[in-house]
């Protein structure tokens, strides 16, 4: 029996691993010249493999799709992922933030060891093979004929089961371009529109502020916003001022509700507490303290610690404001109007994709038996911090086991 896996990211590679040892021919196809390109990019600054937080908090990171992701993580958890990596000879450790990293901090050694093991177990890799769809969907008991564009021209390949792990819509130059969407839609598969996730946002700075502060980090602030249901969400951390607005890990953690609110209302308000360690009463008292001959900027720096980019933000939003009460209120809750998320191709990941309602518990398409989906092409999203990778690995594991059961159990019958 033959299984075709289309997509060589973490989900596709893990699907291949779940299939090894089952006396099947496993062929993995990828459009790029090599597999795992986005995975390698994710590890460029230190591969955040997963997170060590307790189960309930971990599951909450998947928002409205928690119920769909939970069984996948029950079968292949963050702990399982760490054990799997260490079985490859990659030691992991928990950082100060609770994030889990390989000891070497890089993705390349893990990917090399993984590919070596997959090849040794018989997985066949076919790069520069861009999937064009299948010739026709036929009865479940027959093979599926797949079409690929290659440097030598279009070719056909046949398989008894197919696992699609084609990624989302961000970072097209690394292979995740969403070109698979119409290929599935033409077969009646319901797909949620692809949207940017873990992305920055446009604000529309003045020329003076952009020129002076673009690229500077905004450290230790508390961000808050409302979701589309009016619930207030808070996160503390760091972000970066950009030419067009704001981005960074703190913003990514709130990207989903901010994006959805912009979509619903045309804009979203992000409030920043510039001094999260000080109460409003204390800040108000410090700002109201007589400043004598000192300038307002010197006064705010010495009394409240507001300087540099934080001082620039205050002036950008308030203008020349000297009223102590309004200044203190703004320092504790500075409103920034976000007008649009950055484009999908700039986002770290994407939301949207094949809806879980289209899939059975093994991630097989209900209307296309023998065809499974995994990874970021499914309709879920999660913040950075290891949650994205963990669910990609877990869904690939589930799809691989699903295809294995589908074939070895006589196609469920």
Domain coordinates in residue numbering, the chain: 2-196+350-408, 201-341
d(CA 169, CA 163): 18
Percent of the chain at pLDDT exceeding 90: 82
pLDDT band at 293 (very low <50, low <70, confident <90, very high): confident
The share of the chain scoring above pLDDT 70, in percent, equals: 97
Determine contact, residues 314/334, Cβ cutoff 8 Å: yes
Mean pLDDT of the chain: 93
10-19 helix and 108-120 helix, angle to the nearest 10 degrees: 30
d(CA 264, CA 248): 23
Name the band, by pLDDT with cuts 50, 70 and 90, for residue 348: very high
Helix count (H) and strand count (E) of the chain? 15, 20
Tell me how far apart the alpha carbons of residues 262 and 268 are, in angstroms, rounded to a whole number.
5
Band of residue 291 on the pLDDT scale cut at 50, 70, 90: confident
Residues 396 and 12 sit within 8 Å (Cβ to Cβ): yes
The answer to whether residue 140 scores a pLDDT higher than 60 is no
Estimate to the nearest angstrom the gap between the alpha carbon of 282 and the chain centroid: 38
- Retrieve residue 120's tokens: 């040794």
Range with the poorest average pLDDT among 133-142, 159-168, 326-335, 403-412: 133-142
DSSP letters of 150-196? ETTEEEEEEESEEEE----SS-GGGT---TTHHHHHTTT--EEEEEE
Does position 266 have pLDDT exceeding 90, yes or no?
Answer: yes
pLDDT at 137 over 70: no
Reported confidence tier of residue 138, pLDDT bands at 50, 70, 90: very low
* pLDDT confidence tier of residue 121, bands split at 50, 70 and 90: very high
Say if residue 341's pLDDT is above 60.
Answer: yes
Contact in structure between 248 and 198 (CB atoms under 8 Å): no
59 burial level (CB within 10 Å; 0-12, 13-18, 19+)? middle
Give the mean pLDDT of 45-64: 93
Residues 355-367 have pLDDT tens digits of 999 999 999 999 9
Task: Please tell me the predicted confidence (pLDDT) of residue 136.
Answer: 55
Nearest to 145 by CA among 132, 154, 133, 158: 158
Q: In this predicted model, what pLDDT tens digit does every residue of 8-34 receive, in sequence order?
A: 999 999 999 999 987 899 999 999 999
pLDDT for res 142: 47
Statement: residue 319 has pLDDT above 50: yes
Q: Is the model more confident about 48 or about 140?
A: 48
Q: What is the pLDDT of residues 193-210, one digit of tens each?
A: 999 999 999 999 999 999
**What residues form DSSP beta bridges with 245?**
202
pLDDT of residue 412 exceeding 70: no
User: 243 or 142: whose pLDDT is higher?
Assistant: 243
- Could you count the other beta carbons within 10 Å of the beta carbon of residue 5? 33
| Residue 283 DSSP one-character state | H
Under the banding of pLDDT at 50, 70 and 90, the label for residue 100 is very high
Q: Which residue has the higher pLDDT, 402 or 410?
A: 402
Give the distance between the most distant pair of CA atoms in the chain: 86
Element (H, E) at 113: helix 108-120
Give the other-Cβ count within 10 Å of 346's Cβ.
14
For the domain spanning 2-196+350-408, the CATH number is 3.50.50.60
**DSSP E strand stretches across 22-123:** 25-29, 50-51, 92-94, 99-102
How many angstroms separate the CA atoms of 40 and 34, rounded? Answer: 11
Give the contacts of 190 (CB within 8 A, at least 6 positions apart). Answer: 354, 355, 357, 358
Return the pLDDT at 139.
41
- Calculate the alpha carbon distances from 369 to 121, 345, 364, 365, 398 in Å: 27, 32, 7, 6, 16
Mean pLDDT, to the nearest integer, of 304-320?
92
């Amino acid at each position: 029996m033959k299984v075709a896996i289309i997509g060589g990211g973490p989900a596709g590679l893990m699907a291949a691993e779940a299939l090894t040892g089952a006396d099947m021919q496993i062929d993995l196809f990828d459009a790029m010249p090599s597999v795992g390109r986005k995975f390698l990019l994710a590890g460029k600054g230190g591969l955040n493999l997963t997170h060590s937080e307790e189960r309930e908090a971990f599951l909450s990171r998947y928002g409205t799709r928690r119920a769909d992701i939970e069984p996948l993580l029950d079968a292949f958890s963050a702990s399982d992922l760490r054990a799997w990596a260490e079985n490859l000879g990659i030691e992991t450790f928990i950082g100060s933030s609770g994030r889990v990293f390989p000891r070497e901090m890089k993705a390349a050694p893990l990917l090399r060891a993984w590919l070596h093991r997959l090849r040794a177990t018989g997985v066949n890799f076919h790069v520069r093979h861009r999937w064009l769809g299948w010739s026709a969907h036929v009865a479940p008991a027959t093979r599926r004929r797949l079409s690929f564009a290659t440097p030598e021209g279009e070719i056909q390949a046949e398989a008894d089961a197919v696992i699609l792990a084609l990624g989302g819509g961000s970072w097209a130059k690394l292979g995740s371009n969403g070109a698979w969407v119409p290929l599935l839609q033409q077969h009646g598969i319901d797909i949620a529109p692809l949207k940017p996730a873990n992305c920055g946002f446009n604000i529309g700075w003045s020329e003076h502020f952009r020129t002076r502060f673009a690229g500077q980090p905004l450290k230790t602030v508390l961000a808050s916003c409302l979701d589309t249901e009016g619930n207030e969400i808070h996160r503390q951390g760091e972000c970066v001022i950009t030419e067009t607005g704001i981005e960074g890990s703190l913003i990514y953690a709130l990207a989903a509700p901010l994006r959805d609110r912009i979509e619903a209302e045309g804009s979203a308000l992000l409030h920043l507490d510039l001094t999260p360690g000080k109460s409003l009463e204390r800040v108000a008292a410090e700002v109201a303290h007589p400043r004598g001959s000192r300038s307002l900027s010197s006064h705010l720096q010495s009394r409240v610690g507001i300087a540099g980019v934080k001082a620039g933000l205050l002036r950008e939003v308030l203008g020349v404001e000297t009223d102590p009460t309004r200044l203190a209120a703004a320092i504790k809750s500075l409103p920034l109007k976000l007008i649009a998320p950055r484009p999908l191709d700039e986002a770290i990941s994407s939301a949207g994709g094949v809806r879980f309602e289209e899939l059975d518990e093994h991630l097989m398409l209900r209307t296309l038996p023998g065809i499974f989906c995994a990874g970021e092409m499914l309709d879920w999203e999660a913040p950075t911090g290891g949650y994205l990778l963990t669910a990609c690995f877990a869904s690939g594991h589930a799809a691989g086991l699903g295809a294995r059961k589908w074939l070895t159990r006589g196609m469920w019958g």
